[in-house]
Amino acid sequence: MNDNKRPDDMARITTVELAEKFIAAEVEKVQKQVGDRKVLLALSGGVDSSVVAALLIKAIGKNLYCVHVNHGLMRKGESEQVIEVFQNQLDANLTYVDATDRYLDKLAGIDEPEQKRKIIGAEFIRIFEEEARKFEGIEFLAQGTIYPDIIESDGVKAHHNVGGLPEDMQFELVEPVKLLYKDEVRVVGKALGLPDDMVYRQPFPGPGLGVRCLGAITRDRLEALRESDAILREEFAKNGLEGKVWQYFTVVPDFKTTGVKDGKRSYDWPCIIRAVNSSDAMTATIEEIPYALLHHITARITSEVKGINRVLLDLTPKPTGTIEWE
Ligand code: XMP
């Protein structure tokens, strides 16, 4: 039997009751596979790795070793939430690595998008490997592989890039949600008691804010991006758009424009709002944000975010624009 193939008769997990059945069966399976040995997991805070973490904590408790690498390109409050939920609430064995300086130093002056991505990916593998070597006797690597990853890439994960660990670090894989679709993973997360804003969060790219802080990343512009994104997310949540819109974020380009504030001229960055709907990220349409809300968000960003004096709206569907700007 091919255990990477979803059985034709496997019922779709649509309710918490069905999710609880799935969880009970997976807990038993993992306990059988792992016994009292140790499992390592890269916990990004995204839906898939968070659900795998919560499930494995239930199955093997402290024998799950979670590593959360903060690459400095996370959204506001994200790493803090990982620590709050997994360390404080679920009592997980969590190692938090603040690699912000390491990443931003490596990325300084690099403006080519694919090179930025490569640096971010390679650095992640290096840091994860360094952390993994500090633990003794790890035999398993858990991954948040989900069914679309298997279908899309013929078994090779496209976006979950821990597959690139060195050859002398061979682990047996633990992939408890690999036969589930994204909506099912969310229901399982809900049944495991994870917070809604973790379970229903919008897609967020592995390179994080790095692909939205255009060109060569600087700390001050990254901060302006993070703050403007936080305001956009807060306003979308307040106005019932969170969970309704597929993906929404701000982008800060690496050029400045003139402005005027408190009777003085300014020379600061613009900030671009992008909000799209999609079902598979291959194509996307534009969410029509009410103008009153756009005015309010513009007023907040230009008055609260240091370094931004202008707000623009991206009206381009995919195609011709990609969802991200880099
Ligand atoms: P684009 O910009 O290609 O994005 O229309 C399609 C979807 O993929 C996400 N995306 C990424 N995810 N690593 C990721 O894990 C990446 O390098 C990456 N680039 C884009 C993007 O956010 C959108 O959901």
pLDDT tens digits for 90-123? 999 999 999 999 999 999 999 999 999 999 999 9
Whose alpha carbon is nearest atom 12 of ligand 1? 205
Query: Are 276 and 317 spatial neighbours (Cβ–Cβ below 8 Å)?
Result: yes
Percent of the chain at pLDDT above 70?
Answer: 96
Is 189 a pocket residue for ligand 1 (Cβ < 6 Å)? no
Identify the pLDDT of residue 49: 97
Residue 160: how many other CB atoms lie within 10 Å = 19
Ligand 1 atom closest to the Cα of residue 246 is 24
Is 323 a pocket residue for ligand 1 (Cβ < 6 Å)? yes
Q: What is the mean pLDDT of the chain?
A: 95
Distance CA 43, CA 146 (A): 15
Ligand 1 atom closest to the Cα of residue 318 is 5
Residue 161, pLDDT > 60, answer: no
Residue 37 CA, distance from chain mean position = 28
Q: What single-letter DSSP state applies at residue 201?
A: P
Q: 262 falls in which pLDDT band (50, 70, 90)?
A: confident
Is 209 a pocket residue for ligand 1 (Cβ < 6 Å)? no
Residue 156, pLDDT > 60, answer: no
Identify the pLDDT of residue 268: 98
Q: Which two tokens stand for residue 322?
A: 């990609």
Ligand 1 atom closest to the Cα of residue 203 is 24
Name 275's bridge partners: 248
pTM, 2 dp: 0.94
Ligand 1 atom closest to the Cα of residue 247 is 24
Q: By C-alpha distance, which of 298, 325, 307 is closest to 231?
A: 298
In this prediction, residues 184-198 reach a mean pLDDT of: 97
Q: 153 falls in which pLDDT band (50, 70, 90)?
A: low
Backbone phi and psi for residue 144, each to the nearest 5 degrees, phi listed first: -90, 45
Residue 239, pLDDT > 70, answer: yes
Residue 261, pLDDT > 60, answer: yes
Whose alpha carbon is nearest atom 10 of ligand 1? 205
Query: Are 124 and 71 spatial neighbours (Cβ–Cβ below 8 Å)?
Result: yes
Is 256 a pocket residue for ligand 1 (Cβ < 6 Å)? no
In this prediction, residues 59-81 reach a mean pLDDT of: 98
Candidate of 114, 323, 326 to mutate for ligand 1, largest count of ligand atoms within 8 Å of Cβ:
323
Whose alpha carbon is nearest atom 7 of ligand 1? 281
Distance CA 55, CA 57 (A): 6
Q: 55 falls in which pLDDT band (50, 70, 90)?
A: very high
Identify the pLDDT of residue 170: 87
Q: What single-letter DSSP state applies at residue 184?
A: H
- Write out the DSSP string of 61-77: GGGEEEEEEE-S-SPTT
Residue 1, pLDDT > 50, answer: yes
CA 221 / ligand 1 centre spacing (Å): 21
In this prediction, residues 136-153 reach a mean pLDDT of: 92
From first CA to last CA, the distance across the chain in angstroms is: 41
Identify the pLDDT of residue 158: 47
CA 317 / ligand 1 centre spacing (Å): 15
Pairing of strands 38-42, 64-70: parallel
Percent of the chain at pLDDT above 90?
Answer: 92
Whose alpha carbon is nearest atom 18 of ligand 1? 205
Whose alpha carbon is nearest atom 19 of ligand 1? 205
CA 15 / ligand 1 centre spacing (Å): 29
Query: Are 273 and 294 spatial neighbours (Cβ–Cβ below 8 Å)?
Result: yes
Is 182 a pocket residue for ligand 1 (Cβ < 6 Å)? no
| pLDDT tens, residue by residue, 296-323 | 999 999 999 999 999 999 999 999 999 9
In this prediction, residues 139-167 reach a mean pLDDT of: 74
Is 203 a pocket residue for ligand 1 (Cβ < 6 Å)? yes
Question: What DSSP element (H or E) covers 79?
Answer: helix 78-82
Is 324 a pocket residue for ligand 1 (Cβ < 6 Å)? yes
The residue that leads in pLDDT, 25 or 170, is: 25
Backbone phi and psi for residue 299, each to the nearest 5 degrees, phi listed first: -60, -40
Identify the pLDDT of residue 186: 97
Residue 71: how many other CB atoms lie within 10 Å = 25
Is 318 a pocket residue for ligand 1 (Cβ < 6 Å)? yes
Query: Are 135 and 65 spatial neighbours (Cβ–Cβ below 8 Å)?
Result: yes
In this prediction, residues 225-233 reach a mean pLDDT of: 98
